[in-house]
Amino acid sequence: MTTIKDIARLSGYSIGTVSRVINNHPDVSEAARIKVEQIIREQNFQPNSNAKQLKQQSNSAVTIIVKGYENMFFEGILERVQAILRDSGEDVAVAFLDEYSNEVQAAIQLCTSRKPKGFIFLGGNLEFFKQEGMKIDVPCVLLTNTAGELNLENLSSYSTNDEEAGYQVIDYLIRHGHSEIGIIGGSASRIGSQIGFRRMKGCLDAFAAHGIEFDEKLQYEPSRFSMAGGYESVKKLLKKNPKITAVFAIGDTIAIGAMRAIKDMGFEIPKDISIIGYDGIESGRYTIPRLSTIHQDTEILARKGVEDLLLRINYHHPVAHEDIPFTLIEGESVASPSNQ
């Protein structure tokens, strides 16, 4: 195997100088840089990352923590994040966690055993970060949830403005003539740290703005972020409240499960029941009928998240919290209620 020693010997420079060239140190002569780079290319030399990391006291891998299995939206982001990271020469480790597990504790443990350079969280509960987020001693980025109010020195976040989007969804449904609107998804707890809560908050504002009442008991049903979750929760919801004419599923994965349940209950979408999702996943463009939804830009989310993390790992940039744009996509799953 070719090591830095070989490159040193072959180039006529010392190991130290070769190392400096590899790491783009400024204090290297042009001549040395050119010569060393040439030899590296000739030998197709790859520095041993274990040795490098041993010195630098960190593992090369950026770890992506995905909260929830079979959440298709996260799968899409994961693919992009991984690809961008790889193009930047970074190693990528992945850990899938249950939707309800403590991702911060998992990260803390990984810090001592694997020493990753940084974390990207796909989904996260702010409550966990508030409790012991600072125990994670490497840069973190939270995607699809806002952590601005936590003000942690090691946590950036990028997400759509969930509140604003929630508002637009309900406003959109109301403008289509719906007044008995159901909402599914998220956990029932009112901690305010869950993504579902922020979307819900926007919904409530929209109901209030239109002077329409919203009875959580009769119009809300919690659900896991899965198709099975959506299937069960919408069934419960429509059974306990047959007056509902439109459903907002706070994730497309949930919405797709719900569509199937609505169909199984004998209703037509959107004639009998309208449904709108959130995320804008690829699958939603192929459902029958096509799913109306709030589209989050996966590409921007992934790119901003990785860029932020790398700048903080390599150049100690400060944390940032940014909204990324969203658009309401009109599919075929929303219509005016037929009894109008």
Partner DNA sequence: CTGAAAGCGCTTACAG
- Residues of this chain that bind a copy of itself (CB under 8 A): 1, 44, 46, 48-51, 53-54, 59-61, 69-70, 72, 75-76, 79, 82-83, 86, 91-96, 112-115, 227, 231, 256-257, 259-260, 263, 282-283, 285-288, 290
Among the listed residues 38, 56, 151, 189, the single contact to DNA using CB under 7 A: 56
Q: Determine, following the binding rule CB under 7 A, whether residue 199 of this chain makes contact with DNA.
A: no
Element (H, E) at 247: strand 246-249
Q: What are the two backbone dihedrals, phi and then psi, of residue 325, each rounded to the nearest 5 degrees? A: -70, 155
* CB 111, min distance to a copy of itself, A: 10
φ, ψ for residue 107 (rounded to 5)? -65, -40
CB of 86 to a copy of itself, least distance (A): 6
Q: Shortest gap between Cβ of 75 and a copy of itself (angstroms)? A: 5
Token pair for 191 = 């901690």
Residue among 91 and 322 whose Cβ is closer to DNA:
91
Picking from 197, 176, 164, 56, the residue whose alpha carbon sits closest to that of residue 116 is 56
- CB burial of 110-134 (b: ≥16 within 10 Å; e: otherwise) equals bbeeebbbbbbbbbbbbbbbbeebe
Whichever of 46 and 340 has its CB closer to a copy of itself, that residue is: 46
* Minimum separation from the CB atom of position 316 to DNA (A): 13
**From a copy of itself, DNA, none, interface partner of 112 (C-beta below 5 to 8 A by class):** a copy of itself
Site for DNA in 130-189 (CB under 7 A): none
Q: Whose Cβ is closer to DNA: residue 25's or residue 271's?
A: 25
12, 35 in Cβ contact below 8 A?
yes
Structure tokens at 228: 């099975």
Q: Is-contact 260 247, C-beta < 8 A?
A: no
Nearer Cβ to DNA, position 12 or 192? Answer: 12
Strands 155-159 and 321-323, bridge-based pairing: parallel
Q: What is the DSSP string of 138-185?
A: S-EEEESS--GGG--TTEEEEE--HHHHHHHHHHHHHHTT--SEEEE-
> Of residues 34, 54, 83, 265, which one binds DNA by CB under 7 A?
54
Contacts of 268 (CB under 8 A, 6+ apart): none
Q: How many residues bind DNA (CB under 7 A)?
A: 30
Task: Name the phi and psi angles at 302, rounded to 5.
Answer: -65, -45
Residue 89, interface with DNA (CB under 7 A)?
no
Among 24, 41, 44, 57, binds DNA (CB under 7 A): 57
Q: From the CB of 146, what's the least distance to a copy of itself, in Å? A: 26
User: How many Å apart are CA 107 and CA 115, to the nearest integer?
Assistant: 10
What minimum distance in Å lies between the beta carbon of 47 and a copy of itself? 8
Alpha helices of the chain — where are they, by DSSP H?
Answer: 4-11, 15-22, 30-43, 49-56, 72-87, 103-113, 126-132, 162-175, 195-209, 216-219, 227-240, 252-264, 298-315
Site string for DNA, 3-32 (x = CB under 7 A): xxx------xxxxxx-xx-xx--xxxxxxx
Q: Of 48 and 131, which CB lies nearer to DNA in the complex structure?
A: 48
For DNA, the closer CB: 54 or 288: 54
Residues lying near DNA in the complex (CB under 7 A) are found at 1, 3-5, 12-17, 19-20, 22-23, 26-32, 45, 47-48, 51-52, 54-57
